[in-house]
Homo-oligomer: A and B are copies of this chain.
Amino acid sequence: MSILVVGSVAFDGIETPSGKVDKVLGGAATYFALAASYFAPVRVVAVVGEDFSAKEEAVLQARGVDLRGLERAPGKSFFWKGEYHGDNINEAITRQTDLNVFEQFDPKIPAAYDDTEFLFLANIHPTLQAKVRKRMSGVKFVGGDTMNYWIERTPAELAETLRGVDVLLINDGEARMLGNTRSLPRAAQKVLTMGPRVLVMKHGEYGATAFFREGGLHPFRAPALPIEQVVDPTGAGDSFAGGFMGYIAAQDIMNREVFKRAMFYGGVMGSFAVEKEKPNLAPSIKRHKDRATAGETRSTPLRAGAGDASAQPGAAVPPR
């Protein structure tokens, strides 16, 4: 079943201890779409500028991503520039943010997207998220993301958006800010009164925890195994969300077990995102069939040794 993601398709300038790129394909919707494309058909609604070329388009097209909702506007694409340093490779220091064509972004959903069943509202202005949510009122399931900036500055608009979100994926700091408490379980309890029935808190290198509204919180923590070298963390959270939503969209049923399993698929896709220079999700990964799918030929594993993580220092799934 197809997934529609609305969010940024952009350019990034990134400096890490491993190297420097001036302008490379990036954006939340890009990372989400690439990761989710390994599980389900993905559609994108975003805006890019005149600097967005066939080369960037080809990266998404190579993964079969539907770009009919990718609007072209006069001017430049959204641009973000950041640095990561060795003492805390996981935290970006933002050096530049040029909204460019994104400043006037008014999401237009092609009629061809009307049969979409899964919607992901990547981190953009909550008013735009709410607008897309309303337009796509027929979807079966909605995931969402947000950030400190919107939590602080547009709480009313964000509250409106959250009422239409089934699963919210944010990190510890964002959860604490949104729930207005240091305690992660208490923050979760609060957030789960705001709309989402599932909250996924992302803990970076340590994994993520899902909290379920129904039956009282029910935290489920999915560990991530240590990565030997984090080269560039850009897009890790969006890749997690793509793996998570993609896996759910690909299942025949949707229940707590599916959500739990989706946490590990999210972790795996996040781990791919951080291990190499950007963008790196497209060319080199192949998905093998789930073990449960009997009788089908296995292709090259999604990650070498993913079925036996204990033999793989970098594997992001736990050993059985």
A: residues with CB less than 8 A from B are 86, 89, 182-186, 188-189, 203, 206-207, 209, 215-230, 260, 309-311, 313-314, 318-319
Docked-complex contact B225 and A313, CB < 8 angstroms: no
Closest chain B CB from A171 CB (angstroms): 13
- Which B residues lie within 8 Å of A215 (CB)? 311
Docked-complex contact B86 and A220, CB < 8 angstroms: no
- Which B residues lie within 8 Å of A228 (CB)? 183, 185-186
- Which B residues lie within 8 Å of A224 (CB)? 221
Docked-complex contact A220 and B318, CB < 8 angstroms: yes
Docked-complex contact B185 and A319, CB < 8 angstroms: no
Closest chain B CB from A85 CB (angstroms): 11
Closest to A224 in B: B221
Stoichiometry (number of copies):
2
Given A89-B182, A206-B207, A207-B221, does the pair A311, B227 have CB atoms closer than 8 Å?
no
Given contacts A185-B227, A219-B310, A221-B225, 15 further A-B contacts (CB under 8 A): A86-B182, A183-B228, A185-B226, A207-B221, A216-B313, A217-B313, A218-B319, A219-B225, A219-B313, A219-B319, A220-B310, A221-B223, A221-B224, A222-B223, A223-B223
A182 to B189, CA, bound (A): 35
- Between A and B, 30 residue pairs with Cβ closer than 8 Å are A86-B182, A183-B226, A183-B229, A183-B230, A184-B226, A185-B226, A185-B228, A185-B313, A188-B226, A189-B313, A206-B206, A206-B223, A207-B221, A207-B223, A209-B223, A209-B225, A215-B311, A216-B313, A218-B310, A218-B311, A219-B225, A219-B226, A219-B313, A220-B310, A220-B318, A221-B224, A221-B225, A221-B226, A221-B318, A223-B223
